[in-house]
Amino acid sequence: MLAVGCAIAANAQPPAAALSPDNPFFQPSTLPYQFPPFDKIKDADFRPAFEAGMAEQRKEVDAIARDFAPATFANTIVALERSGRLLARVLKTFYNLNASNTNDEMQKVQVEMAPKLAAHQDAIALDPALFARIDALYRQRDGLGLDAEPAQLLERYYQQFVRAGARLSESDKAALKQLNVTASSLTTHFEQNLLKNAKNGAVVIDNVADLEGLPAEQVGAAAEAAKARGLSGKWVISLQNTTIQPALEQMKSRALRERVYRASVARGVGGDADNIALIAQIVSLRAKQAALLGYPNYAAYSLEDEAARTPGAVNQMLAELGRAALIKARSEAAEIQNLIDDQAKAAQSKPFKLQPWDWAFYAQQVRKARYDFDDAQVKPYFELNHVLKDGVFFAAQELYGVTFKERTDLPRYRPELRVFEAFDEGGSSLGLLVRDDFARDNKNGGAWMDSFVDQAGLFDQKPVIINNLNLAKPAEGQPVLLTFDEVTTMFHEFGHGLHGLFSHVKYPMLAGTNVPPDFVEYPSQFNEMWAREPEIVARFAKNYQTGEPMPKALLDKVIAAQLYGEGYATTEYLEAATIDQSWHQIPVSRAPSAAGVIAFEESALRKAGMSYAPVPPRYHSPYFAHAFSGGYAAAYYAYIWSEVLARDTGRWFHTHGGISRANGDYFRAKVLSRGRTMEPGVLFEQFYGQAPSVEPLLEYRGLGGTPPSRR
């Protein structure tokens, strides 16, 4: 659907009252890089700023749509790009804060504004006068003499309007508007339920002895989480977005492991934050939206604008990779079951069948036996600040010449926030990077990148990027020690950050990470490779107490061990991607009722040959944020599609000498700085020199076998 930040027709709603000059959104921030004035922003400021922003944009776009002068690129397309700047400021700040630091009042604003913004969004796409101007320009595009970037901007506007319903009859437009408004309210409700369920589903432990196996800093973090809830003397295991919770890896109590697992998979099913009925309604609405627009299902609609293009291409890739992943996962399961049986025999106890809540715990033991280490040995070498400065930032400096300097003079919405200014070689500034690293009850789970300000040459605007993690905050005075998976996540999100910081584009619609989901994950997944590159790891893997580097033998084991467990990791991901595709490949006639939601998910996995009890999907539908509230509907496959590009790029780097400024600068020039100034497939092939190949991905994940074809 059309991005809210584009433009909107003037007659959608009655004008709102003018915004008070005292409102912090009244004018652009005067802080460096237009950094939001968090110290001045109050919850009460958002509602009037939203209303004023929509009214202002309606007035601006009305002038464009009703201009008597013939349409030109400047008076129509560029004018649309210039519209809505007040609304953009409010949207960027509100939705970032609502994701990272929400409260009851902000959630009320979100519920109220979601349908209004959806109507605001539709009024642009469905205004016939506005589309007539864009259509006229598009028809004469070959004679306009446009360079590549403005030609791409015209193409994107035209396609977005058509895909949003600009060619529909007036009655169908009215029906689509209502569907869009309803869908926005439902997805907002789903998102808010996720936050409630994460908080309500957290597991409270009365006896610290039950936490045997967890390292001291995790026990301390559990105590801090309990204290924050007013439960002093208890311990709380908070739930992350995923099905399998990190604590299961080291928790010795099988009963507590099962309890944590069952709390995780129960989220969104029943209670006052039930998502089952919402899923049925969202799926049905999306199928109706697609049908109105002339598509057989929502996936066909969504994928047409992605690199993948068709559901068939995605289905084939998931099936082919799924076969290789399941073979590996079953092999891993057999090895784990043997360990369980051997331990039961040695203890003269009754053996048990491997269950989902057992896998991480025993896989860690298999990994330790095979590679002679565990996370408890490794974590002292992965202290957060060392990883950030001597790993993440160091790799960026070696590849791109970029450096980072921490700033403490800018206001923050949380005291633990950190802000860094990015500089190119030679000292020219690039923008700001904000880091919000710690989990809390009023923050969405998972890890993500976003922006408070997008790069745009049209406005001489530099980016303000944010990386969000959900690390457990330790007790006062304790270090923040990471698992290697968390280290990899830091590199991943920073890859998104570089994509935003390096953007060198004129028009906002084409800037930074404004690319399809199956391309936006490409730079981030590529950047993960430096987390296991020996020369980079050697820089940041140092004992937080002594400063001694991680012994080479242990470092070699850490790197080698990354291949272990890829059968499980790939299978759980592909199961979730299959669920997402299955929901969105439903035509209107097959959309299930709420009573059929749970059964549909299991049926979809069985039909795809991806149902394997010891390995549950990374997300079950009731807490699948990507699919039902996070903007990845029919696009969760994007991570692995992008990873094919990422691993091809990794092979390219190694073939051309590895880490070097020449290689980094070339990748930056061809991909990281380009946004969507060309279509993603073209950008990739101009960098890589040929079509993508799946072999490097299979090698990187240790899946082996005959490489599947890539279409």
Residues annotated as catalytic are: 493
Identify each DSSP E strand in 113-267 by its residue range: 203-205, 235-237
Question: Among 539, 634, 541, which Cα is nearest to 580's?
Answer: 634
Enter the DSSP assignment of 255. Answer: H
**In whole angstroms, what is the distance from residue 329 CA to residue 335 CA?**
10
State the DSSP H helix or E strand holding residue 223, giving kind and residue range, or none if neither.
helix 216-228
Find residue 419's DSSP bridge partners: 407, 434
Residue with tokens 């994940």: 701
What's the burial of 673, exposed, middle or buried (CB within 10 Å: 0-12/13-18/19+)? Answer: buried
Q: In what order do the strands lie in the sheet with 418-423?
A: 403-407, 418-423, 429-438, 464-471, 448-453
Enter the DSSP assignment of 631. Answer: S
Question: Among 454, 482, 461, which Cα is nearest to 558's?
Answer: 482
Residue with tokens 């996936």: 299
| SS3 track for 352-418 | CCCCHHHHHHHHHHHHHHHHCCCHHHHHHHCEHHHHHHHHHHHHHHHHHCCEEEEECCCCCCCCCCE
Judge contact between 52 and 95, C-beta under 8 A.
no
Residue type, 617: P
What's the burial of 272, exposed, middle or buried (CB within 10 Å: 0-12/13-18/19+)? Answer: exposed
What are the Cα distances from residue 27, in Å, to 23, 90, 563? 8, 11, 51
**In whole angstroms, what is the distance from residue 463 CA to residue 44 CA?**
26
Q: What's the full length of the chain, in residues?
A: 711
What's the burial of 395, exposed, middle or buried (CB within 10 Å: 0-12/13-18/19+)? Answer: buried
Residue type, 227: K
Residue with tokens 């589309």: 131
Find residue 236's DSSP bridge partners: 204
Cβ-based neighbours of 203, under 8 Å, separated by 6 or more: 236, 237, 239, 256, 259, 260, 263
What's the burial of 460, exposed, middle or buried (CB within 10 Å: 0-12/13-18/19+)? Answer: exposed
**In whole angstroms, what is the distance from residue 214 CA to residue 249 CA?**
9
Residue type, 674: R
**In whole angstroms, what is the distance from residue 663 CA to residue 673 CA?**
14
Reduced to 3 states (helix: H, G, I; strand: E, B; else coil), residue 121 is: helix
Question: Among 453, 399, 458, which Cα is nearest to 430's?
Answer: 453
**In whole angstroms, what is the distance from residue 489 CA to residue 495 CA?**
10
Judge contact between 532 and 539, C-beta under 8 A.
no
State the DSSP H helix or E strand holding residue 468, giving kind and residue range, or none if neither.
strand 464-471
Judge contact between 251 and 257, C-beta under 8 A.
yes
